[in-house]
Amino acid sequence: MLIVGDVMLDEHILGDVRRLSPEAPVPIVEIQSRRYHPGGAANVAANINCLHGSALLVGIVGADAAGSRLTEELASRGVSTHDLIPAMDRRTTTKSRVMAGGQHIVRFDEECQIDLSAEQEELLATRAARSVEAADACIISDYAKGVATPRVCHAVISAACAKGIPVVVDPKGADYSKYMDATVITPNLKEARAAAGTYDNRFHNRDDSGILIEDIAATIMKQCPTSLLITRGAQGMTLFERGAPPVTIRARTRQVYDVTGAGDTVVATLALGLAAGLPMAQAARLGNLAAGIVVGELGASTVSIEALQHAIAEDSWSAREAATTF
The set of catalytic residues is: 264
Q: Residues 70, 74, 77, CA angle at the centre, nearest 5°?
A: 145
CB 31 within 8 Å of CB 114 = no
How many helical (H) and strand (E) elements, i.e. helices and strands, does the chain have? 10, 13
Residues 6 or more apart from 144 whose CB is under 8 A from it? 6, 172, 173
Residue 60 β-bridge partners: 85
Q: To 10 degrees, the CA torsion angle through 187, 157, 219, 246? A: -60
CB 244 within 8 Å of CB 238 = no
Helices (H), the chain: 41-50, 65-76, 118-131, 150-163, 189-197, 213-223, 262-275, 280-294, 305-314, 319-323
Residues 6 or more apart from 182 whose CB is under 8 A from it? 140, 157, 167, 168, 169, 226
